């Protein structure tokens, strides 16, 4: 059986803690590898490697740092099929979906190829008598990223690409459920010319996370996962003097106005609700049709499409979605469907009990659809993270708008309409971080920033875009005056530019 360790100092190393966990094939339920779980010793070894080489990397001119990412992008494209298949084998999502995971990460790597421009400071000539003033953006030093299972390629690249491009070293702690692609990305970064020790991958659980959060040499931490853990990571990092950006859960609504193109809205809901078996933080899990006629048309159109979803292992090229990632996720999603029925929602399509011939022990859940869901139900309040769509009927636009406004999460939201006034009003008033207008999954492109509001995000700066450059650098401001402009004698008043 395959044994997976860590990647420290540019090479694979075995675990030393004596602890391990299993990596499963979600389609079969079989163990396919054992994963070493790091303790404090492995984290310190990674930090020691990073601390040794980071100053030289920070002093490397930005053009040369950018060239590493130019080569890395070439290698990602070259190895796309290999990486996507490896990702799918541990996560369970379809290969084409895995390619999307990789490409969205690749786009951030393309963005940071512009680091010579992105990291520029500002300059003011003659800010005062013979005084010039300028600012510099310098790296934090050593950063760390803690990533979730659902995007084992995209989110690590969202984190380490801007951090490393800015001159930092980086410690990556990926999910224990699908660790192989992050390790392969680290190999490709070395092949692209990154010095050994700048990117270290350390696998682990809470022990590794706590070691990262309390390590005195790590200056910044970024996290994506559930909201309770995001709160914990953010609070612990702050108490230990680190800057942190932590992204949590979501409950994304899509409002369907009476004038919407119903075919377009239904197709959008199918992809956004059931793609990747709903295991996306930007998945649409709540549909809000405005008016009874709109609701009836929507449910009637969705039902046969959900019933005809093709569900299969990642090796099935025609599959629309695969299994959930673990047995625990399978039990949790089925339990939430049970609670929805118990609390009075109408289960229009029931995905429980789905079995696939030859894959009876896989973690498959069929697509499920609830109607007449109300805001007091668990299936509405909770992030299900599975192929379950809830329909909450609204009498009018204001009622529909109030639902995502009142929800504790504020990651993403969408509206489908032909009415420009309604769309503009919606975008202006909604208290959600990412908004789609006739776009079901409004994940911004790499040169804009990704991040939610409310309990979906903790910290002042978002992922990728210019926010990432600000997060991974510290501003140093220099005020300079040369001897020819200096008067004799001491000045005892506060300096001004009078």
Task: Please classify residue 180 by burial: count the beta carbons closer than 10 Å to its beta carbon, then call 0-12 exposed, 13-18 middle and 19+ buried.
Answer: buried
Q: What is the DSSP letter of 18?
A: S
pLDDT of residue 485: 57
Instruction: Indicate if the pLDDT at residue 496 is higher than 90.
Output: no
Instruction: Provide the percentage of residues in the chain whose pLDDT is more than 70.
Output: 99
φ, ψ for residue 198 (rounded to 5)?
A: -75, -35
Give the whole-angstrom CA distance, residue 443 versus residue 155.
12
Residues with Cβ < 8 Å from 192, sequence gap 6 or more?
A: 68, 69, 71, 72, 74, 75
Confidence tier at 497 by pLDDT (50, 70, 90): low
Residues with Cβ < 8 Å from 330, sequence gap 6 or more?
A: 323, 324, 363, 364, 365
Instruction: Indicate if the pLDDT at residue 397 is higher than 70.
Output: yes
278 Ramachandran zone, left/alpha/beta (phi>0; psi -120 to 50): left
Lowest mean pLDDT among 8-17, 340-349, 466-475, 486-495: 486-495
Instruction: Indicate if the pLDDT at residue 483 is higher than 80.
Output: no
Instruction: Indicate if the pLDDT at residue 490 is higher than 80.
Output: no
Cβ(495)–Cβ(131) below 8 Å: no
Lowest mean pLDDT among 250-254, 443-447, 491-495: 491-495
Confidence tier at 136 by pLDDT (50, 70, 90): very high
Which of 320, 76, 49 lies closest to 191, judged by CA?
Answer: 76
Residues recorded for the chain: 498
Alpha carbon of residue 302 to chain centroid? 28
Please report, for residues 46, 196, 199, 325, 428, the alpha-carbon distance to residue 193 in angstroms, rounded to integers and kept in the order given: 19, 9, 12, 34, 45
Instruction: Indicate if the pLDDT at residue 265 is higher than 70.
Output: yes
Q: What is the overall mean pLDDT for the chain?
A: 96
Can you read off the two tokens belonging to residue 78?
A: 């070259």
Q: What is the mean pLDDT of residues 23-35?
A: 97
pTM higher than 0.85 for the full model? Answer: yes
Q: What is the mean pLDDT of residues 216-240?
A: 98
Alpha carbon of residue 301 to chain centroid? 31
Query: Could you give the maximum distance between any two Cα atoms of the chain, in Å?
Result: 90
Instruction: Indicate if the pLDDT at residue 47 is higher than 90.
Output: yes
pLDDT of residue 1: 83
pLDDT in tens, 318-367: 999 999 999 999 999 999 999 999 999 999 999 999 999 999 999 999 99
β-partners of residue 144 are: 171, 221
281 given a catalytic annotation: yes
Percent helix, strand, coil in the chain (nearest 5)? Answer: 40, 25, 35
Reported as half-sphere exposure (CB side, CA atoms, 13 A), residue 228 has a value of 2
pLDDT of residue 487: 66
Question: Which member of 113, 166, 246, 281 is catalytic?
Answer: 281
In order of their start, the domains of the chain are 2-248+456-478 (3.40.605.10), 252-437 (3.40.309.10)
pLDDT of residue 486: 62
């Amino acid at each position: 059986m395959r044994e997976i360790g860590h990647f420290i100092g540019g090479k694979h190393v075995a675990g030393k803690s004596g602890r391990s966990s299993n990596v499963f094939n979600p389609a079969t339920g079989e163990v396919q590898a054992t994963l070493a779980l790091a303790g404090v010793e492995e984290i310190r070894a990674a930090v020691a490697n990073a601390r040794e080489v980071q100053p030289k990397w920070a002093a490397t001119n930005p053009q040369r740092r950018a060239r590493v990412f130019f080569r890395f992008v070439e290698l990602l494209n070259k190895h796309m099929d290999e990486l996507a298949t490896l990702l799918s084998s541990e996560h369970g999502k379809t290969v084409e979906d895995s390619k999307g995971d990789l490409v969205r990460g690749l786009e951030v790597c393309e963005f940071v190829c512009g680091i010579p421009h992105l990291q520029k400071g500002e300059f003011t000539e003659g800010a005062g008598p013979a005084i010039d003033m300028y600012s510099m953006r310098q790296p934090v030093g050593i950063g760390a990223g803690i990533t979730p299972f659902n995007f084992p390629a995209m989110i690590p690249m969202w984190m380490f690409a801007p951090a490393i491009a800015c001159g930092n070293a980086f410690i990556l702690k990926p999910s224990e459920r699908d660790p192989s692609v992050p390790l392969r990305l680290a190999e490709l970064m070395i092949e692209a010319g990154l010095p050994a020790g700048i990117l270290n991958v350390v696998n682990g659980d809470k022990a590794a996370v706590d070691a990262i959060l309390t390590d005195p040499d790590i200056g910044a931490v970024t996290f994506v996962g559930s909201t309770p853990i995001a709160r914990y990571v953010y609070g612990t990092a702050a108490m230990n003097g680190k800057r942190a950006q932590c992204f949590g859960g979501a409950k994304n609504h899509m409002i369907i106005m009476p004038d919407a193109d119903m075919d377009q809205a239904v197709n959008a809901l199918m992809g956004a609700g059931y793609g990747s078996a709903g295991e996306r933080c930007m998945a649409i899990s709540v549909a809000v049709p405005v008016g009874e006629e709109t609701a009836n048309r929507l449910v009637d159109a969705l039902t046969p499409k959900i019933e005809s979803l093709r569900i299969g292992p990642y090796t099935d090229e025609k599959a629309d979605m695969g299994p959930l990632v673990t047995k625990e996720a399978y039990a949790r999603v089925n339990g939430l469907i049970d609670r929805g029925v118990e609390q009075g929602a109408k289960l229009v399509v029931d995905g429980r009990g789905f079995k696939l011939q030859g894959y009876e022990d896989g973690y498959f859940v069929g697509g499920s659809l609830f109607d007449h869901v109300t805001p007091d139900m668990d299936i509405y309040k909770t992030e299900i993270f599975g192929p379950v769509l809830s329909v909450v009927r609204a009498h009018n636009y204001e009622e529909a708008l109030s639902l995502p406004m009142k929800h504790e999460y504020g990651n993403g939201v969408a509206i489908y309409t032909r009415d420009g006034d309604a769309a503009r009003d919606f975008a202006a008033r909604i208290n959600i971080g990412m908004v789609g207008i006739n776009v079901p999954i409004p994940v911004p492109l790499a040169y804009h920033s990704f991040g939610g509001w409310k309990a979906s995000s903790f910290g002042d700066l978002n992922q990728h875009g210019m926010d990432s450059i600000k997060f991974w650098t510290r501003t140093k401001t220099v005020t300079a005056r040369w001897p020819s402009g200096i008067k004799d004698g001491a000045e005892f008043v506060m300096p001004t530019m009078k």
